[in-house]
Amino acid sequence: MASAFTHSFVALAAGKLVFPEKMPVRFWGLSIVCTLLPDLDVAGFFLGVRYGDMLGHRGFFHSLLFAAVVGVVVVLLAFRNVPFRSRKWWTLMAYFGAVTASHGVLDALSDGGYGIAFFSPFSDARLFLPWRPLEVAPIGVRGFFSRWGWDVLMSELLWIWLPLALVLIIVYFVRKDRSRRRALIAPASPRSK
């Protein structure tokens, strides 16, 4: 799995890319929660759920169906002021579903553990992506204070953080340029006499 730091960073970067306007604090908090939510399945270890079970780690809670349900539930509960089925409602729902699903995608880029049950409960197949550059992160906090944790953070920095930061910088300047061009093209307001 990727680290909680990287899952959170991906959610924040995606939020900035999809919603350039100022968003409420709850949006940012829910973005982080959604991207971390799939790892609640590690609680199953303490309840006797085996890793490879449907409800085990990287099982149903890492699936695309789970992500879609989370997207709908978050918007219904936390964004009641957004008109139901409006363009903004659909965009928020897709966004929260996507950041939740990003968790499984990042884990599928890692080099360890079982694959991801993207299509659970319809299929119990565990899948990885063909390219797996990320070091698998340790489960638990203690492992991050070791050489392993350092290697994980460095691989995530190289393969996730830096490319996403570059995309954010490019998008920022493109948006700034578009805004400047619109201001130049916009007709001058009539002067009052």
Determine the average pLDDT of the residues in 18-40: 96
User: Do you find a cis peptide bond into 163, omega within 30 degrees of 0?
Assistant: no
In a domain, 108, yes or no: yes
Residues 6 or more apart whose CB falls under 8 angstroms from that of 135 comprise 110, 111, 112, 148, 151, 152, 154, 155, 156
- Taking a C-beta distance cutoff of 8 angstroms, is the pair 107, 100 a contact? no
* Confidence at residue 144, expressed as pLDDT on a 0 to 100 scale: 67
Computed over every residue of the chain, the mean pLDDT equals 91
- Please give the span between the terminal C-alpha atoms of the chain, in angstroms, as a whole number: 66
In a domain, 193, yes or no: no
In a domain, 146, yes or no: yes
Question: Model confidence at 3, in pLDDT bands (50, 70, 90)?
Answer: confident
Question: Model confidence at 71, in pLDDT bands (50, 70, 90)?
Answer: very high
CB atoms within 10 A of CB 51: 15
Question: Comparing 141 with 79, which gets the higher pLDDT?
Answer: 79
Our count of domains for the chain comes to: 1
In a domain, 182, yes or no: no
- Taking a C-beta distance cutoff of 8 angstroms, is the pair 2, 160 a contact? yes
CB atoms within 10 A of CB 181: 10
Range of the domain at 57: 4-162
- Regarding pTM above 0.75, the answer is yes
In a domain, 167, yes or no: no
In a domain, 177, yes or no: no
CA distance 152 to 143: 10
In a domain, 72, yes or no: yes
* Confidence at residue 138, expressed as pLDDT on a 0 to 100 scale: 72
CA 108-113-117 angle, 5° bins:
50
Residue environment code for 26-50, b if the CB has 16+ CB neighbours within 10 A, otherwise e: ebeebbbbbbbbbbebbebeeeebe
CA distance 150 to 161: 15
Dihedrals phi, psi of 134, to nearest 5 degrees: -85, 135
* Confidence at residue 181, expressed as pLDDT on a 0 to 100 scale: 87
In a domain, 47, yes or no: yes
Return the structure tokens found at 178: 């578009």
